[in-house]
A and B are shown apart, each in its own frame.
Chain A
Amino acid sequence: MSKVPPNSISTNAATDASAIERGLEILIARLDPDVGIASRKYQQLRRRLVRLFEWRGAWVADDLADETLTRVARKLGEGTSVDGDVEPFARGVARLVFLEFLREQDREQRVKSSPAPPSSSALDEHDLECLDRCLDQLAASDRDMILAYYSGDSAGRIESRRTMATGFGVTPTALRIRALRIRERLEACMQESRTAKAGAE
């Protein structure tokens, strides 16, 4: 994926790396005293920022989310006082990051008409092999669930999902979220595989 142009919103060259490192520690501690839980919350916050940028149509959503979190960490590391939860602060920073992105790139040119990264409407052969491997790595119950969830044609799917939701004792929306989370794990697994392949090449 293309990176955000360095002269727009990338971190300042003079940025004190240690401040960012220190700030990350503060950020993690602010999210939860338990490092394991804090780490999950950090990933969740990042995932949400990515989605927010995507919902705004930004094709560099991942980069903008990382830039946001880097800025939040730098602020915290420099001693900026943040009252209450850190998420609203992150949201404010995210807004600034996106506005800067728009200002620099011009929305029409960059967001809609830019040479977007190649988007594939279908997975290639390597991806499909990865998918099979990643499916195998899932717990059997999750694998059965996700395959069942996407089985059938669109008309029959509604009824079968309703039956599944009843069986699991959850609402159809909760079932959809469960499927979505399994799919995210598959995506992450496939991404790791792509990265490994790129590294090997």
Chain B
Amino acid sequence: MQELELSTIRRFVLGDLDDETRRSIESEALENDALFERIEAVEDELLEEYIAGDLPGSERKILEETLDTVPGRSRRAALMRALAGRSSASREPSAVAELGVRARYANQARFAIAAAFATAAVAAIAFFQLTRSEPPAAPPTPTASATPAASDTETLPAPNSAIPVTSSALAAHRPDSTLLAARKPQPPHAPSVPVVTFLLVATTSRSESAARKLIIDKPDSVVDLQIAIDDDEFSHYNVELRAPDGTTLSTHRDIPVSALLDAPVIRVSVPASSLRSGRHELVLAGVHERGTEEIAYLEFDVVKR
């Protein structure tokens, strides 16, 4: 179906369309999340216009009729009125305008704290490695975005393990468990798989942020990609990792949301050997009942040493 005009949706909500058009929109609306939500939003707009006295006469008359016959709509209108009353009594206008801005800064701060936590975690592991009696590991290369560290404390997918990596493989690979495991004495035969933790912040367009650098010193390491998301709107996500030439390197499906200091993150791990030098793209998609919705595109540069 072509994108519906606003006037058509308004008439649909008011019950002012011919049967054929109405049935067509109903069919589409039950299967199309975006259209359904758009209709809901238009109904909300109509009610607000009605309450504010801004609704044109003809539409006002029809809407008033439906308010008498559709209890749900009537309840919504009453609640809107009450909320407007509560809002006027409790809030200064200047605070209203700042709310969204504060929300944005709060999110940024949350991600910054999460990033700092992740960095501190891997730095602690690196320090632990360096202070052990074994031959010193190469010091992590300082970069603004990547925090590589060697860890022999967890059983992780082998560097050449098959892709996609399942979400269950990630369950045992959280920053807190990494730290705890690092403090525990490990058997001498524990598998040695260096882990590189790399935090990215999801943005909604390809051009919103500059590409960050992921420096890989150890070709046999595993990269733990953590993608901070704005909110956990979906319960599961798909991640597609694309090579510099645009080919798909790996696809990770139905990944649940993890938490990094209460900030929602999506985690996937990939063998460093599967990455190539150059710019990679990561496509994050939310999974819903009708399929998937791409919600973020993240680019990062891989530098192999």
Contacts and interface: CB of A to CB of B under 8 A. Distances in A.
Interface of A: 1, 31-32, 37, 41, 44, 48, 50-52, 54-59, 61-62, 85, 87-88, 90-91, 95, 111-112, 114, 116-117, 119-123, 127-128, 131-132, 135, 141, 144-154, 156, 159-160, 163-169, 173, 176-177, 179-180, 183, 186-187, 190
A152 B39 contact: no
27 contacts: A41-B289, A51-B72, A52-B29, A54-B73, A55-B13, A55-B26, A57-B69, A57-B70, A59-B71, A61-B70, A90-B30, A116-B71, A120-B74, A131-B83, A146-B83, A148-B95, A152-B93, A160-B93, A165-B100, A167-B104, A173-B38, A176-B44, A176-B45, A177-B40, A180-B44, A187-B76, A190-B79
Contact of A164 (B41, B69, B96): B96
Interface residues on B, range: 35 or more
**Cβ-closest 10 pairs across A and B:** A167-B100, A164-B100, A151-B87, A119-B74, A154-B52, A167-B101, A150-B83, A150-B87, A148-B96, A148-B99
A52 B30 contact: yes
Given A56-B15, A151-B87, 4 more contacts: A51-B36, A59-B70, A119-B69, A173-B41
Interface centre among A54, A116, A166 (most CB of B within 10 A): A54
B65 interface: yes
A169 B204 contact: yes
Nearest to B34: A173
Contact of A55 (B12, B93, B97): B12
A68 to B, nearest CB: 11
B77 interface: yes
A11 B155 CA distance: 57
Contact of B36 (A48, A149, A173): A48
A134 to B, nearest CB: 10
B294 interface: no
B31 A87 contact: yes
B24 interface: no
B270 to A, nearest CB: 26
Given A121-B78, A147-B86, A169-B104, A160 B97 contact: yes
Interface string B224-264: 00000010000100000000000000000000000000000
B100 A116 contact: no
A54 B29 contact: no
Nearest to B99: A148
B67 interface: yes
Contacts of B74: 119-121
Contacts of B70: 54, 57-59, 61
Contacts of B83: 131, 146-147, 149-150, 183, 186
Q: Classify the secondary structure of A's interface with B.
A: helix
A89 to B, nearest CB: 11
A37 B235 contact: yes
Contacts of A111: 69
A33 to B, nearest CB: 11
Contacts of B69: 57, 59, 111-112, 114, 116, 119
Contact of A119 (B43, B52, B68): B68
A110 B87 CA distance: 37
A112 B79 CA distance: 23
Contacts of A190: 79
A62 B72 contact: yes
Given A41-B289, A121-B78, A180 B41 contact: yes
A183 B54 CA distance: 22
Interface string B261-292: 00000000000000000000000000001000
B82 A128 contact: yes
Contacts of B43: 55
A163 B100 contact: yes
Contacts of B48: 154
Nearest to A112: B69
A169 B201 CA distance: 14
Interface centre among A32, A41, A61, A150 (most CB of B within 10 A): A150
Contacts of B82: 122-123, 127-128, 131
A91 B26 contact: yes
A50 B72 contact: yes
Contacts of B30: 48, 52, 87-88, 90-91
A66 to B, nearest CB: 14
Nearest to A56: B15
